[in-house]
Structure 1
Amino acid sequence: MNLAPLYIRLQHYDRFQVDQIMPASSLNEGINDNETNLCTLLIALSHGIRLYVDKMAIDLRQGSCILVLPVQSYTVESSNKETQLARFTFETFEVEGMTLNRVDHPSLLCGYPYHLLFSQVKQILGNEAWINNQFCSSLSTSEMAMMQGRLQLILGLMAQLDEQAAQLQNKDKIKLVQQTVQYIEQHYDEDLSVEQLANMAGMVRWQYSQKFKTLTGKKPTDYLVQLRIEHAKELLCNSTESLSKIARQIGFKDEYYFSRCFHKLTGNTPREYANIHLHTQQRTVIDSLGRKIHVPTGATRIVTDGKFTLGELLVLGISPIGAAISIMGDNVVYHNRLRNIHSIGYWADPDKIAPLQPEFILLSYYPQDLQELDALAPTVVLDKKFRLFERLRYIAKLVERSKEAEKWITTYENKVRLVRRQLADAYVAGEMATVYLKLGAKFYVMCQTGLAASLYESLGFRPTPKVMQLIEQGQAWIEIQQHQVNHYAGERNFIMASPQELQTITHCPQIATLAKLTPSKTHFVDFTWNHCDPITRERLLDVLPSIFKKKTM
């Protein structure tokens, strides 16, 4: 958020209680409807508020601040009648000499919540009696000046969050080593070498090892071995697999070397450790069907269908023993992490799951053979309406990894802000965008899944009216006829296809016509980015700048 070139002029301030569902018409009471250039800053003064910006849901917690553009509409809802929102509406101007030029689309980071400390927000807003009025339309000049200063302070705190996130881009040596530590934690089961990690950090081996030990207190090889042993502990307590298979699952090629390392670090052989720590404690969870499911505590032998669960489990540090990976193959960006996972077919096939002896089964859809699956292991069915963060938090609670989930969400939010800053000159928040998928002769419009979810939920793009209708109907995607391609076109269009099809896609008449409608705002994207899992969503942020810079990838 760059406030330096802008002059902010406060127009209105109010604080109100959120009474269940409040539409924009009731929220705007007292504000002149002709003032269509006003930006809005909303501040959650209570927990439990859900905001809809252009009908896209955003959950706010106490202290959350969010900016809404003039072209956007919003409603708020809450089940708690005591929840409160504060609202500033203001104009923005660019200063040229002695002239103020109104800016209808300021370079502010809109549509994404900033999580400020509520104690800071409360201190800034103050506790004057008049502040609790339904609408403060009769503020004196001094009171408006005071509120103008408070608005500037809150915007300044939001800008500070951006600056702190921007500091993550500094490529100093320690931060580069930190990135390789994260890589080790995510890829510990792969064949990693110190040379490979040093190359990732852009250092020679001796320099990398020295800085790695300064950061972690261990040599790279010792750190990797200890990480693998920690994962081995989980497998040994919940697995009947042979030691050789467990060794391979955590990255050891040699069973005997694994046993020596394990004994050195724990004082027990692997089997001794399993016998000491084996337990069968259970927790009760409620799934989307309202069923009480008894899930073993510390379970790691998990089978999942994979569409909206596999990436979530992997990012939480859990590799399931089986998943429906038959159709994934090389079509996901994390295909290298699938090699130790047994395939259970295209869906959750009970015949293929039974030999794996899972502790519980996690599904993102309602299966017809639920009874048969429940007989194999406790089966948890996710709510298909869950968005990324909701889904990740639910799964994390299920597998007792809530801290890991919150850490990932914070990292992702910071990364989104960085990318939006990088792309500030490439697009304007609030642009209408459409995502198409071309598979052979078939065309699809993506509604709120895959790449479309990232664009709408994280980058601040808006669906076109026709796409919004589909989202409201609960559609994730629809197939369209070739002659309908232009009917859904937005101000900016993203066309996904396989790498092979991307070579000749501009020869397609429908695509060529679409590209002519938005010649500088049509982007061609590899369809491997069309997934909603956290791994894909996070890695997509790294390639978005290149997608915007060139038409083809």
Structure 2
Amino acid sequence: MEWQNFDLPMDNVRLRWIGLDVYTFYSGIERTMFAPDNYAMWVIDEGEGVAVVDGQRLPIVPSSSILVLPGTILEWEHQPGHIVHAHKLEFDADWEGEPEEHPLAMIGNRVVAIQPLANLMELLDQIAELRTTDMGMSRFRRGILLQEAIFQFAVKACVNQPANTKEAVLRTITHMEENYQHNWKVGELAAIACVGTRQYSHIFRQVTGTSPMDYLHRVRVDHAKRLLRSSSRDIHSIATQVGFKDEFYFSRRFKQQEGVSPSVYVKKHEPRVIGLLFTSHLLALGMTPIGAPDYHLFRNEYVRPYLPEMKPFVWAPYDLEAIREMEPDLILGYEHMTTGEYEQFSTIAEVVRIPWQSQDVYQQLDSVSAVVNKRKRSREWMEQHQLKVAQTKERLCSTIGLQDTYAALVIDDTGFRVAGDRNMGHVLYRSLQLRPHPLVQQFINDYNGHNAFSEKLPFEELHHYDADRLFIMVNGQNPYAEAAFRKLCRSEVWRNLNVVRNKNVHKVSYDKWWMYTPLAVDGQLDEMIKLVENV
């Protein structure tokens, strides 16, 4: 066992539970600061950002954990478009020796990847159930669970070093792409990868064919291109926004990469469009909207690369003044828009209604392309997409049974919903033409233009949908759904399903599967291969 390969004098540490809290950090909050007097183990189960621990910036992703030592100043930086969900387990750890020799000091104040995360999350769920107990045996049990949670962290902390330096460098590339405005230094990136500067630069060039700084400049220019197409801002402000110190160096780099100066490139400027429900459709056509509903941006994995170029506005209820301040030339409405909504939006810009409920995603794309004069781009996108569909079907033929039955379900806190052949069911039943479970097929046949998902059903009825393969999406808008799913997985109702016994259950990401858009159905083809082939 891995914990037998090292030792910490934890037997001389007396742990005492203090509290367990759950935090959700929303985008738009610049920083949230904590300065605990006790030990606090933070566990991230959703979202990405940066933890600043006594001034040191540490990237965090789902499954990241940090044991914050007493007296440490911890600040959370939130990445645009990410909602960070975190658990804080607070405790005391008495030690009779010198403070600097405390065992937890050896593993504290750094990011530790806890993988798989499920075991630790189950412990935290059990501790949460005993949070307010006043019974002696329950408190005793809570203390045991606390020790087990800290034990799991300590084990991972002692062995969690990058086994593959190439993978570590690849992770810094992702971090660089997501934080391209930052004034990165090679030494800073090398430190994140836990390798020396020379080794980092050598591996980076092997992976990308270029140096870290040249790669960063290329990423910045790509973002600048989108801003030039979708914004009326001057070149100086765009150069500053993407991370260049001055517009002259930016222009030189831009021309090296694109062959023309930014001022020439900007002549291809597109109309200022807001798509409302059709943000992704515009992006698929090569147009970047100037703004989009907040939920389109922050809970949609396929739109996140375009976040810096689009301003979010509150959707429920929609912020009319924020939309007005963006000064759009065109607003794409929807068929079920009320007369009052249409009139309000029409005071800002021209509004063209696009069918939503009566058209599938491909028909919607065609309708949008007709309005913005992008029919050729729409046909090109569809040709590439259909080729990708065919390639995906061919690749999956050798892995899954095309004659098997399939079901796609959404998990809520008190039950589940069945997906039809829109939203998360489109790729399964329309694109790949997989066979729906008979009850799913019946639901698809009953589509009335509104019911993309069924009414909520109790978990006890899951056995009626025991298909050969099951795709599960936990409702990311329900804060209690994930805990309900973990509890369901421990139940007899779940374990008695044949699809569970045959290990043919695939849990899909909410941020990648809930939207019904061109970018989503195209990206879900890649996700299907990863899910089925366990890539």
Q: What's the TM-score, normalizing by structure 1?
A: 0.49
Q: Do 2:472 and 2:507's aligned partners in 1 also have CA atoms closer than 8 Å?
A: yes
Match of 2:137?
Answer: none
Q: Do 1:446 and 1:478's aligned partners in 2 also have CA atoms closer than 8 Å?
A: yes
Displacement of 1:535 = 2.6
Distance 2:394 2:410 in 1: 27
SS for the counterpart of 2:399 is: coil
Map 1:224-235 to 2 at 5 A: 230-231=225-226, 233-235=228-230
Query: Which moved further from structure 2: 385-394 or 325-334?
Result: 325-334
In structure 2, the CA distance between the partners of 1:503 and 1:517, relative to structure 1 (3 Å rule), is closer
Map 1:354-369 to 2 at 5 A: 354-368=324-338, 369=341
Q: Do 2:181 and 2:220's aligned partners in 1 also have CA atoms closer than 8 Å?
A: no
> Percent same amino acid at aligned positions?
17
Task: Give the counterpart letter for 1:491 in structure 2.
Answer: D
Task: Give the counterpart letter for 1:337 in structure 2.
Answer: Y
Match of 2:343?
Answer: 371
In structure 2, the CA distance between the partners of 1:395 and 1:188, relative to structure 1 (3 Å rule), is farther
Displacement of 1:433 = 1.5
In structure 2, the CA distance between the partners of 1:484 and 1:253, relative to structure 1 (3 Å rule), is same
In structure 2, the CA distance between the partners of 1:435 and 1:327, relative to structure 1 (3 Å rule), is same
Distance 1:412 1:495 in 2: 24
Q: Mark the runs of 5 or more structure 1 residues left unpaired by the alignment.
A: 1-182, 213-218, 279-296
Q: Do 2:217 and 2:253's aligned partners in 1 also have CA atoms closer than 8 Å?
A: no
Q: Do 1:502 and 1:524's aligned partners in 2 also have CA atoms closer than 8 Å?
A: no
Structure 1 residue corresponding to 2:276, chosen from 305, 311, 315? 305
| Alignment partner of 1:507 is 2:490 | yes
Match of 1:542?
Answer: 526
Distance 1:547 1:352 in 2: 39
Q: Do 2:419 and 2:454's aligned partners in 1 also have CA atoms closer than 8 Å?
A: yes
Q: Do 1:363 and 1:381's aligned partners in 2 also have CA atoms closer than 8 Å?
A: yes
In structure 2, the CA distance between the partners of 1:374 and 1:490, relative to structure 1 (3 Å rule), is same
Map 1:448-467 to 2 at 5 A: 448-467=421-440
Map 1:41-60 to 2 at 5 A: none
Residues 100-128 of structure 1: CA deviation (Å, up to 9, x unaligned) = xxxxxxxxxxxxxxxxxxxxxxxxxxxxx
Task: Give the counterpart letter for 2:336 in structure 1.
Answer: Y
Task: Give the counterpart letter for 2:504 in structure 1.
Answer: K
Displacement of 1:492 = 2.6
Distance 1:436 1:253 in 2: 43
Q: Mark the runs of 5 or more structure 2 residues left unpaired by the alignment.
A: 1-173, 194-200, 477-481
Map 1:487-506 to 2 at 5 A: 487-497=464-474, 503-506=486-489
| Alignment partner of 1:444 is 2:417 | yes
Residues 376-416 of structure 1: CA deviation (Å, up to 9, x unaligned) = 11112221132232222332343344444333333333333
| Alignment partner of 1:477 is 2:485 | no
Match of 2:323?
Answer: 353
Q: What's the TM-score, normalizing by structure 2?
A: 0.51
More helix by share: 2
Residues 459-506 of structure 1: CA deviation (Å, up to 9, x unaligned) = 221223433333333331122321443334433322221566655441
Map 1:7-406 to 2 at 5 A: 230-231=225-226, 233-235=228-230, 239=232, 241=233, 245-247=237-239, 252-254=242-244, 257-258=246-247, 261-262=250-251, 299-306=270-277, 309-326=278-295, 329-330=298-299, 332-347=301-316, 348-368=318-338, 369-384=341-356, 385-406=358-379
SS for the counterpart of 2:454 is: strand
Displacement of 1:298 = 6.0
In structure 2, the CA distance between the partners of 1:228 and 1:400, relative to structure 1 (3 Å rule), is farther
Distance 2:424 2:466 in 1: 16
SS for the counterpart of 2:243 is: coil
Distance 1:194 1:408 in 2: 38
Distance 1:340 1:224 in 2: 14
Q: Do 2:410 and 2:417's aligned partners in 1 also have CA atoms closer than 8 Å?
A: yes
| Alignment partner of 1:530 is 2:502 | no
Distance 2:254 2:508 in 1: 47
Aligned residues: 334
Structure 1 residue corresponding to 2:400, chosen from 427, 443, 447? 427
Distance 2:527 2:253 in 1: 42
SS for the counterpart of 1:376 is: coil
Q: Do 2:285 and 2:377's aligned partners in 1 also have CA atoms closer than 8 Å?
A: yes
Structure 1 residue corresponding to 2:380, chosen from 407, 415, 420? 407
Q: Do 2:297 and 2:312's aligned partners in 1 also have CA atoms closer than 8 Å?
A: no
Displacement of 1:446 = 0.7
Task: Give the counterpart letter for 2:363 in structure 1.
Answer: E
Task: Give the counterpart letter for 1:417 in structure 2.
Answer: A
In structure 2, the CA distance between the partners of 1:227 and 1:323, relative to structure 1 (3 Å rule), is closer
Residues 114-163 of structure 1: CA deviation (Å, up to 9, x unaligned) = xxxxxxxxxxxxxxxxxxxxxxxxxxxxxxxxxxxxxxxxxxxxxxxxxx
Distance 1:491 1:326 in 2: 33
